[in-house]
Amino acid sequence: MADLFDVIVIGGGPGGYVAAIRCAQLGLSTACIDEQKDSEGNPSLGGTCLNVGCIPSKALLDSSEQYHRLQHQFGAHGISADNVSIDVSKMQARKHEIVKNLTSGIGVLFKANQITAIHGFGRLMADKHVAVLDPETGKLKQTISARNIILAPGSIPVELPGIPFDDEFVVDSTGALAFDKVPQRLGVIGAGVIGLELGSVWSRLGSKVVLLEAMDKFLATVDHQISREAARQFKKQGLDIRLGAMVKKVTSSPNGLEISYEQKRKQHKLEVDRVVVAVGRKPATDGLLAADCGVGTDARGFIEVDERCLTSEDGIWAIGDAVRGPMLAHKSSEEGVAVAERIAGGVGHVDFNTVPWVIYTSPEIAWVGKTENECKEAGIPIKTGSFPFAATGRAKAMEDTVGMVKMVAHAETDRRSA
């Protein structure tokens, strides 16, 4: 007979590992299945976020920002240094250590909370059974079952048709976090959050970065006043952002790679040394759901859930990047905690109006609640106020005066815009 748990979690990212820990804290016997491996081929908990997402990107953003500040901003403080250089392998080793420290920490937390960690690919079968398969061979390792199952498989990068990743020259975000040297010319397809963050890293380290963005509007979901100011600052920093640029193909050329794109109905070519494809992510639901498991996905592969994260099957829940809503680590974790509370008979709650967003460029862009444009579109009467950092003492003291704070409030009640 299959081992029986109170809860099985499939996926060990910020949604899955947080859900598993909360379930265990609430007294539920819990197993967590995850297939992720680190660069040395060892099982590594923490999902996209800790292994190849939030954490390594923030580590490189910080290293590259220190390097940039030393070269361009420290002079104003009276600090100068000769022969400033960057050792990319040391920078990558630091990133690796941070990731290792955090991912191994989850293993420690699992042990402390008596969670059964299982390395493998989990497939939801009928009658709340889960098959654990060897991620390489696809062979069945074991079958387990539970009263409740939480699906938290996360997401994977979208590949553009006809532009396959080759893990060396045409790469996804994971590849762009692992470059062993600074590419001289870097093409980034997609000027969304991930494209901008990775473009910033390599630009600060010396790459000539061109971002090709299909949409005419820059950062369309961001407050328009803020995105206009951000575009101005990024341009000043040397990021070449080309809007309305639809990439068609990437071919090899005698001197590197040639990106063909269409802009204003004209065909253009751009020669680069490496290409980062950052055109979005899709749910990692391939092979997750057996035909007779009772749970389905929508046309784009997202697992269908209600507002409580419950699927169409009683006791089967889904959270994080693989369900509707923003693809953000803290949103996944919040859903994980809420589902654990519901399973244990409590009340879980996630307020989607208060999920913060951050883009870790310089300056960073962060917001919570509805933007001015969203309020206007929804017909909500608002008043707005903004204050430039250039007029605040702290910002001046830090030599960091670019940007502003903006408030959007209801015109009559003064409540926040959410």
With respect to ligand FAD, which residue has the nearer C-beta, 229 or 321? 321
With respect to ligand AMP, which residue has the nearer C-beta, 193 or 309? 193
Rg of the chain taking only CA atoms, in angstroms: 23
Element (H, E) at 118: strand 116-119
CA–CA separation, 325 vs 335, rounded Å? 11
Is residue 339 at the binding interface for ligand FAD, with CB under 6 A as the rule? no
Q: Which of 328, 337, 339, 350 binds ligand FAD (CB under 6 A)?
A: 328
CB of 62 to ligand FAD, least distance (A): 12
DSSP state, residue 304:
P
With respect to ligand AMP, which residue has the nearer C-beta, 191 or 288? 191
Is residue 34 at the binding interface for ligand FAD, with CB under 6 A as the rule? yes
Bond from prior residue into 164 cis (ω within 30 degrees of 0): no
Distance (Å) of CA 406 to CA 30, 367, 369, 383, 409? 44, 9, 12, 11, 10
Contact 290, 151 (CB under 8 A): no
Q: Which of 190, 320, 348, 403 binds ligand FAD (CB under 6 A)?
A: 320
Give 414's contacts (C-beta < 8 A, 6+ positions apart). none
Is residue 272 at the binding interface for ligand FAD, with CB under 6 A as the rule? no
**Contacted by 212, from ligand FAD, ligand AMP, none: CB < 5 to 8 Å by type:** ligand AMP
Q: Which of 5, 7, 8, 15 binds ligand FAD (CB under 6 A)?
A: 15
CB of 317 to ligand FAD, least distance (A): 13
Contact 12, 40 (CB under 8 A): no
**Contacted by 152, from ligand AMP, ligand FAD, none: CB < 5 to 8 Å by type:** ligand FAD
Q: Which of 5, 7, 9, 12 binds ligand FAD (CB under 6 A)?
A: 12
Instruction: Tell me which residue has tokens 């029986």.
Output: 4
Binding mask 123-152 for ligand FAD (x = CB under 6 A): -----------------------------x
With respect to ligand FAD, which residue has the nearer C-beta, 75 or 326? 326
Q: Which two tokens stand for residue 236?
A: 């000043």
**Contacted by 121, from ligand FAD, ligand AMP, none: CB < 5 to 8 Å by type:** ligand FAD
Give 378's contacts (C-beta < 8 A, 6+ positions apart). 370
CA–CA separation, 264 vs 281, rounded Å? 26
Instruction: Give contact residues for ligand AMP (rule: CB under 6 A).
Output: 160, 189-190, 192-194, 212-215, 245-247, 278-280
Label residue 410 left, alpha or beta by phi (over 0 means left) and psi (-120 to 50 means alpha). beta
Residue 118 sits at φ, ψ, to 5 deg, of -125, 125
**Contacted by 175, from ligand AMP, ligand FAD, none: CB < 5 to 8 Å by type:** none
Binding footprint of ligand FAD, residue count (CB under 6 A): 35
Distance (Å) of CA 180 to CA 7, 93, 418? 41, 10, 43
Is residue 194 at the binding interface for ligand FAD, with CB under 6 A as the rule? yes
With respect to ligand FAD, which residue has the nearer C-beta, 49 or 241? 49
Q: Which two tokens stand for residue 382?
A: 């608002």
DSSP character string of 186-200: EEEE--SHHHHHHHH
With respect to ligand FAD, which residue has the nearer C-beta, 55 or 375? 55
**Contacted by 192, from ligand FAD, ligand AMP, none: CB < 5 to 8 Å by type:** ligand AMP
Signed CA dihedral, 269, 272, 274, 278: sign only: negative
**Contacted by 207, from ligand AMP, ligand FAD, none: CB < 5 to 8 Å by type:** none
Query: Which pairing describes strands 185-189 and 274-277: parallel, antiparallel, or unpaired?
Result: parallel
CA–CA separation, 80 vs 63, rounded Å? 18
CB of 94 to ligand AMP, least distance (A): 26
Binding mask 154-183 for ligand FAD (x = CB under 6 A): xx-----------------x----------
> Which residues of this protein are in contact with ligand FAD, per CB under 6 A?
10-16, 33-36, 47-49, 53-54, 57, 121-122, 152-155, 173, 194, 284, 288, 320-321, 327-330, 332, 360
